[in-house]
Amino acid sequence: MIIPFSKIDRSSRVWIYQSNRKFSDDELTDIKQSLTVFLSDWTAHGAQLQTSFQIKYNRFIIIALNESSNEASGCSIDKCVHFIQEIESKYNVILLDKMNISFKQGEFVTYKSINEFKDLVKNKSVSKNTIVFNNLVLDIDDFIKNWEVPAEKSWHARFFNG
């Protein structure tokens, strides 16, 4: 069962999949439709899951799951990963590589490898105040408070300590 993202319980678990590029308007329409179909049928051991999703900045797919009624099983999480892999394949994007960093440069979202990000830090092209996307947040509450934060307030801070 899908509910609006703003209405899902704040303790709901989240998964964030960042794309290496922005989705086009047509791709967004299709991806939202595919997410709706997938999440409407997403179950764990036959039990319906309470879910939600949103796409931010035309590149971050955020899936939420309220586990207070039914928890995700290993098989249900695998199904979600396979679904994301299908999106990767269909649109020729990278969504599952966690070794990349997205951050804001003005109004734009930039996507770089960790090594490229380290070089930007070294060259002072990004600073501790650069807004980064902390895709390691655990739940909606954490997402609201800690997803878009200055680099010094996320795991990215380690790149500035050396």
pTM of the full structure:
0.94
Chain segment 41-51, per-residue pLDDT in tens: 888 788 788 89
User: Per the structure block, which two tokens stand in for 160?
Assistant: 């500035």
Chain segment 73-83, per-residue pLDDT in tens: 788 889 999 99
% of the chain beyond a pLDDT of 70: 99
Q: How far apart are the first and last CA of the chain?
A: 47
**DSSP reduced 3-state for 81:** helix
Residue 3 near residue 122, CB atoms below 8 Å: no
| Residue-level pLDDT at 162 | 61
User: Per the structure block, which two tokens stand in for 100?
Assistant: 């990349």
Chain segment 1-11, per-residue pLDDT in tens: 899 999 999 99
Residue 100 near residue 113, CB atoms below 8 Å: yes
